[in-house]
Chains A and B, each alone.
Chain A
Amino acid sequence: MLNLIYWELFKTYSKWRTYIGFIAVGVLIPVIMWIMSYSGEQMIQRQLRSLQKDFFISGNLFNGWVIGQLIMNGLWVHVPALIALVAGDQLSGEATGGTFRLILIRPVSRTRILNAKYFATLLYTASLVLFIGGLSLGLGLWIFGSGDLIAIDREGISILPESELIGRFFLAYALAMWTMFVVATLAFFISSFVENAIGPIITTMTVIVIFLIVSNLPVESVENIKPFLFTTQISVWTEAFKDPYDWSKIIKSCAALGINSLLFYSATLIIFKRKDILS
């Protein structure tokens, strides 16, 4: 099995499209940092303006942790596209290249081949999330320094002490990774239907956009559907910046996301095992 995974990883990381995500993020994050270095502090000041009328506020509130959180907030709409770019190519790419027949005549079960491909997809997803985290925090802390994190959400303002932030960001990226696994599994699932990688990428993004719209509709008739849509839980990573942690919400969201991944993967397995290879 390890050998299979090794070769799937080798194939994945041999394609230049795998690096599109890393290059895009590698260019975008420094650009965001550059823009932030000019106007980021004003943004924090604006958020705290009403408090500053009556309170003297001190401390480095515009720091690398704040930048890291801002980048997470901004990128989670675009990162699924980068993940679908690779995950959507895992099965359809073999069909496009006409290599399915070649790999499936080997004395290895289809399930093991699919598992190896899926594992390679998840590893790519994890590596992209870790790259985003490492680059945004590493560069952010280097340029803007460290300090406490000001987290503003609908409930109000939280000031999270610097000493807690490594743990909180670790949890945030772990949750983000878990969310992106669902996106990867969805693209992987769609790629089992088709023989062209473009289809899974576009379809995955279409499904995400439709689900996101439904998840954010303030209409009572869709309230019962919302918990089943993975997009409702897509921002679970923000729970890492709540004080105290709402573990029951985190566990529920993770379970819902896990079930989504499991369903998509099970469906892929069924389709792949019954698939007629005609190319």
Chain B
Amino acid sequence: MKKYSTIIVLIIFSISLSFAQQITAQKIMQNLKEHFDAINDYTVTLDIKPNIERFNTKEMRLRLFYKQPDKVHIESKGFVMIPRQLFETNPSQLLSKFDPILIETKKDSGRTVYVLRLLSKPEKNHPALENYISIDGERWVILKLQSIPAEGRTIDITFDYITVDNNYILPSLMNASFNFGSDDDAIAKMKGFKGMPTKGTIEIRYSDYQVNKGLSNEIFEQKKTSKE
């Protein structure tokens, strides 16, 4: 009897394992989206520390307002510069703009991590974009994003997370490093200009989260600084 029960347990275990292995890229993205959809809106303070060649600026601070599905508004006292990819980590947008392909499932610090290749859906007059994202298979958040906006240009973004209000897992730290190749403005170089910034890192610290407080749509319509 004991022998049979062991066999049954083994069969159930192997069946469940095979189901786990059959998780698809679409399902992973869907899980990511469902987790993110629990957050209807949030506001957060961003402290941005850039370290970019030939680009000299002090640390920047801004207040970011987000509302589903893709409303973003920024309030800052002065100049701010944020990698565009930061706004392109919204799972709904990723699902609508890219076709995901699961290329690797691995274990990292005991957690299952899925690595997906995202290839932009064909769009007239738009070059194909290629992104690679690593997704935490337990918390369903993006751990890493590598974007290749064009040949020879790369942006790598990694995220750390915190749990807000004991419920929502949101970024606490983002590190972006980018390399846009060389600046080919020959005329500017003839004049002695060393070129536009092409390489560097940006560290963004998130603090003072306010989640699901019911942000009004007016916030996103009032100023030109909003990016929608």
A162 interface contact, C-beta 8 A = yes
Are A148 and B78 touching (Cβ within 8 A)? yes
B164-214 with Cβ < 8 A to chain A: 178, 180, 183, 185, 191-197
Are A57 and B197 touching (Cβ within 8 A)? no
Contact with A along B121-165 (1 / 0, CB 8 A): 000000000000000000000000000010001010000000000
Of chain B, the residue at the smallest CB distance from A151 is: B56
Q: Chain A contacts of B55 at CB under 8 A? A: 156-159
Q: Chain A contacts of B77 at CB under 8 A? A: 162
Are B76 and A243 touching (Cβ within 8 A)? no
Total residue contacts A-B, CB cutoff 8 A: 85
How many Å lie between the Cα of A155 and that of B56 in the bound state? 10
How many Å lie between the Cα of A158 and that of B225 in the bound state? 21
Chain B CB within 10 Å — which of A59, A153, A155 has the most?
A59
Please classify how large the interface on chain B is, using the bins under 10, 10 to 19, 20 to 34, 35 or more. Answer: 35 or more
A152-188 with Cβ < 8 A to chain B: 153-159, 161-162
Count of chain A residues with a beta carbon within 8 Å of a chain B beta carbon: 23
If A54-B180, A56-B87, A58-B225 touch, whether A157 touches B80 (CB-CB below 8 Å) is no
Q: How far is the CB of B129 from chain A (nearest CB, A)?
A: 12
Q: Chain B contacts of A157 at CB under 8 A? A: 54-57, 196-197
Q: Chain B contacts of A51 at CB under 8 A? A: 81, 196-197
B37-54 with Cβ < 8 A to chain A: 53-54
Known contacts A58-B81, A148-B79, A157-B54, then 11 further A-B pairs from the complex at CB < 8 Å, ordered by chain A residue? A50-B183, A54-B180, A56-B83, A56-B84, A58-B80, A59-B76, A147-B79, A154-B191, A156-B56, A157-B57, A157-B197
Binding site for A on B (CB under 8 A): 53-58, 62, 74, 76-87, 149, 153, 155, 178, 180, 183, 185, 191-197, 225, 227
